[in-house]
Amino acid sequence: MKYEIKGTPFPVVDILLDANESVNCQQGAMAWMTPNMQMSTNAGGGLGKMFSRSFSGESIFQNIYTAKNGPGEIAFASSTPGNILPFEITQNRNIVAQKHAYLACTQGVQMSIFFNKRFGTGFFGGEGFIMQLFSGQGMAFLEFDGSIVEYQLEQGQSMLVDTGYLAAMDSTCSISIESVAGLGNKLFGGEGFFNTKVTGPGHVWLQTMPINNVAGSLRPYITTG
């Protein structure tokens, strides 16, 4: 398999497959392909996997595209303005990503639900509660909102992140919540009551334009009726 990520701010990942090679994707992600790409749809691992994908913000079913009778080409498009990033998943490196990040992956990659073990994070940490865990062996292509800023956190080093800006992290990182200091800051600061605290060791990917923030900023200008 070869791939190339093209275009901004609505990128696509263009994948070249050898004969009989397959790639999985989220429903509706396919943008274009050669005629010899054959599609099949299934639940991808049974009832447990179906519910896991549903809770992590993806569709219950997944599409599998296979190159038949020779090499094939298929492109998957981002659903929002932003970036598509490739991640090499290995036995020693799993990736935790925000809900709705999954775009496509090779057959050896497993996607499951990632619950934060800290009870408080579940209720106050927003995106930190239910995320997606990518494990196994292969390539995963994930989509994020806006531009991406990366940090390498050392053991014990932390970063405070406003809800929604955490795009992905190495599974070696941990997340918790921290309350915004001061009642006045909480009530009038416009930044909410809590921030997500990401602690190393590991790599962190932050996104600059969470789609829920975009929707909120446009809401006053949308009229009904």
pLDDT of residue 36: 98
At residue 193, the pLDDT reads 63
Question: What does the DSSP 8-state code read for residue 61?
Answer: S
Inter-residue contact 166 to 159 (CB < 8 Å): no
Q: Which residues contact 16 (CB under 8 A, 6 or more apart)?
A: 1, 2, 3, 71, 72, 73
φ, ψ (nearest 5 deg) of residue 17: -115, 145
- CATH 1.10.460.10 matches 2-216: no
- What pLDDT, on a 0 to 100 scale, did the predictor assign at position 128? 45
DSSP state of 122: H
Per-residue pLDDT, 188: 45
Please give the chain's pLDDT, 225 residues, in tens: 999 999 988 999 999 999 999 999 988 899 999 999 999 998 655 545 555 555 444 566 789 999 999 999 999 999 889 999 999 999 999 999 998 899 999 999 999 888 665 544 444 444 446 789 999 999 999 999 999 999 999 999 999 998 789 999 999 999 988 876 654 444 444 455 678 899 999 999 999 998 777 666 666 767 655
Domain chopping of the chain, boundaries: 2-216
Look at the pTM and tell me if it is higher than 0.85: no
Residue position matching structure tokens 């274009």: 32
Q: What is the pLDDT of residue 130?
A: 79
